[in-house]
Amino acid sequence: MSCAAILFVISLVAAALPADKCELTIARLRYGGGGDWYNGPSSLPNLVDAVKKETAIPVCDTVAVVRIMDPTLFHYPFLYMTGHGNVHFSPEERVRLRTFLVNGGFLLANDDYGMDKSFRSEMNALFPENPLVIVPLSHPIYSSVHKLAGLPKIHEHDGLPAKGLGIFFDNRLVVFYAFSSDIGDGMEDVGVYPDPPVLHRAALDMGVNIVAWFFNP
């Protein structure tokens, strides 16, 4: 997908707002299947605050919540999903989410430990011809603002290494999957988890990079 197409999707939000207002609203995806899509309530507000402080991106203060079949889905080109449990999309949701993604939308998925198996199954159903692959360290998602050596490891879980996985469609990254990393927990308020401040900062650096890369591909 061309940069022009991505910017067109972003402009759907801006067109409905006064010129002096924000342009990009980050939206949390409310999905079915029983997983706790609402987990980590302070993570996205903290990410928005960091983006506002560290970039010139006109990101909105308010974080939206959206379902795949909501008529407003295409108003929010940047989707975030997380959770510990099961992820399930209906056949209609799969078609609509794929349409959203191939037409300029983007999904940041954070495995909060427990959603991996069902998430991978749903991504395979969405893009059977484009499997999840390692996003190379040369990709600008790791260097758009902060120069990172890769996806930071925030929580141990099973002790597996953190992996930045992605789905590419027409050479564009449409899904970024933070596996065995848990940047979502890392972006939460300091004190929610007994993590050192350096991990909180590392998670926010990764989040800022992802938003900045998406807005300025």
| Residue 13 reports pLDDT greater than 70 | no
Neighbours of 186 (CB within 10 A): 28
pTM summary value: 0.90
Secondary structure E strands in the chain: 26-29, 64-66, 78-83, 106-111, 133-134, 163-169, 172-179
Q: What is the pLDDT of residues 159-188, one digit of tens each?
A: 899 999 999 999 999 999 999 999 999 999
What does the pLDDT read at residue 158? 83
The conformation of residue 73, written as its DSSP 8-state character, comes to G
In angstroms, the CA 14 to CA 19 distance is: 8
Judge contact between 189 and 42, C-beta under 8 A: yes
Comparing CA positions, the residue from 91, 94, 173 lying closest to residue 130 is 173
Q: What is the CATH number of domain 3-215?
A: 3.40.50.12140
Comparing CA positions, the residue from 25, 46, 48, 47 lying closest to residue 106 is 25
